[in-house]
Chain A
Amino acid sequence: MPSGAPAILVRDLRKRYGDHDAVCGLDFEVAVGEVFGLLGPNGAGKTTTVEILEGYRSRDEGIVSVLGMDPGERPRALRERVGIVLQSCGIYRHVKVREAVAYWAGLYPNPRAVDEVIDIVGLGEKRDALARTLSGGQARRLDLALALVGDPELIFLDEPTTGFDPAARRAAWATVRRLQELGKTVLLTTHYLDEAQALCDRVAIVKDGRMLAEGPPATLGAAASRSRISWTDEDGATQEREVEDPTALLHQLTSGALARGATLRDLTVSRPSLEDVYLELTEDAADDVASTMEATP
């Protein structure tokens, strides 16, 4: 692949199920070596988009290129270079962990060492355990091992840590960072904001099959451009103001307090986090949920 060509290119992607538009005109690119996150509420079209890129689903319109190939044609050369962790999928109940990873390794032309992969995902002690005896988190780690053993250049992770306890999530994050260090390209979907913020070079916020915002997590926060100033007043109440430019308000607050000989306890100035941006952008969805809940007796 020529250098500079994106690992994934999506132009005006559209997919309908019956009369429901699951994806309506998505555009994005993922550079080689980048960790890219698709972030959005349930039903936003994340999984449909990823499954089109993985070759599971056909698209209705648009251009899609993955490692320079069309996933819709499911070329074997592409499947050899891509690792997939699906949102939920099973495995033979009676297969042992090491057996499964070794079998998967045999499907790829240049696999990684089986035991090394098992150690990377932290299943070393479960090597000889049957798949059906694994806990939910361990099964998810086996999913990851099977996706990595072919030494893919590009890895799809569809909600890789849903249902993990905090320790398992941290471990999974460390694995994704390790993939990044190895120069792998990663496309992940998540509805955890902290996950996107911790792992992704860039995120796209998707809702109702449309892109609402795209960029590095930090600049997405800056794009909202408002600052939040909060403090605790003399009566112990928390005050909060949102302003375009915090300079004037800060000056007013601090000089006023000095003149009165009071202190502004807990004074903070914060930029909106990715979470604020996300909530703001996907607000309608939250409103819908709220109105549904009100309507329910």
Chain B
Amino acid sequence: MSDAVLAWRHYRLERRMFWRNPTAAFFSFVLPLIFLVLFGSISDDAQLRIIVPGIAGLSIMATTFNALAMQMTFLRDAGVLKRMHGTPLPGRSYLAGVLGSAATNAGVQIVIVVLAGRFAFGLGWPQDWLTLAIFTLLGVSCFAALGVALSYVIPNFEAAPAYTNIIFLPVIFISGVFYDAEKVPTFLHDIANALPLVHVINGLQAALVNGKPLSDLLSDLGVLLLWTAAGVWAAVRGFRWDGRGG
């Protein structure tokens, strides 16, 4: 059985498990919708042009970074990783299935945000589909790898929400999810610029509202590629099937 077939089978198992836990599925899709409705109802057009891409970026981070940090910690704590480690399933097929499932959730969210932008907020269809695809894919890869890497630092599942939110909440606030990132104080702005979310949102903003060409987004692409490389390196190097290490 090839690694790709095994990865595909694992992806299908992950999807089935996701839908069989309706509360988790419901919240992960409804949360960004609630944000959209809340902010959409209190914002004018200019603000919407910032908030809609911002929430698209938030959705990508929540469905990959947060979800995987929690899920991998849970699977490790529950001993599922250990059990999988004893089967012939190659680690890369397993990870591909898990990451693919998170990427699917992120993709569905982007579709929801795009549809809401078009039909609820009058933003029209995205300006540039290619840019949208590139930044979605890169954002997903980057945050998925970083989420898996973060799970290695989290000591146990009870601590997972704290570890995840202490990163997620400040990052979404300084990265301009809810307002223009240029308006935050300079030192916070500098921190945000060193982190990946701002650059995902810049790309999504270009794709969804202002139509900025890809050639103007090279520095955003560069920062994201660096973070993705670092994340993948940490996710692969740090792998452990239990809390204690071998």
Residues of A within 8 A of B79 (CB): 86, 88-90
A25 within 8 A of B: no
Interchain CA distance A261-B5 in the complex, whole Å: 84
Cβ contacts B20-39/A at 8 Å (1 or 0 each): 11000000000000000000
Interchain CA distance A107-B8 in the complex, whole Å: 12
B17 within 8 A of A: yes
Q: Which of A55, A76, A94, A106 contacts B21 (CB 8 A)?
A: A94
Whether the pair B86, A92 counts as a contact (CB closer than 8 A) is: no
Whether the pair A95, B85 counts as a contact (CB closer than 8 A) is: no
Whether the pair B80, A89 counts as a contact (CB closer than 8 A) is: yes
B118 within 8 A of A: no
In A36-62, the 8 Å CB interface with B consists of 54-58
Distance in Å: Cβ of B68 to nearest Cβ of chain A: 15
Residues of B within 8 A of A99 (CB): 13, 16
Interchain CA distance A84-B21 in the complex, whole Å: 28
In B163-219, the 8 Å CB interface with A consists of none
Q: How many A-B residue pairs have CB under 8 A?
A: 67
Whether the pair B13, A95 counts as a contact (CB closer than 8 A) is: yes
Residues of B within 8 A of A256 (CB): none
In A139-160, the 8 Å CB interface with B consists of 146, 150
Residue of A nearest to B18 (CB): A94
Q: Which of B80, B82, B90 contacts A76 (CB 8 A)?
A: B90
- Contact size range, B: 20 to 34
Whether the pair B17, A107 counts as a contact (CB closer than 8 A) is: no
Chain A contact residue count (CB 8 A cutoff): 29
A91 within 8 A of B: yes
Residues of B within 8 A of A130 (CB): 20
Whether the pair B86, A103 counts as a contact (CB closer than 8 A) is: no
Whether the pair A86, B83 counts as a contact (CB closer than 8 A) is: yes
A228 within 8 A of B: no
Residues of A within 8 A of B6 (CB): 106-107
Whether the pair B80, A79 counts as a contact (CB closer than 8 A) is: no
Whether the pair B1, A79 counts as a contact (CB closer than 8 A) is: no
The 6 closest A-B pairs by CB, nearest first: A90-B78, A89-B79, A94-B20, A84-B86, A90-B79, A79-B88
Pairs across A and B, CB under 8 Å, 27 listed: A54-B86, A56-B86, A56-B246, A57-B246, A79-B87, A80-B88, A84-B83, A86-B79, A89-B79, A89-B83, A90-B75, A90-B79, A90-B80, A91-B78, A91-B83, A92-B17, A92-B80, A94-B17, A94-B20, A94-B21, A95-B16, A95-B17, A99-B16, A106-B6, A107-B89, A109-B88, A150-B87
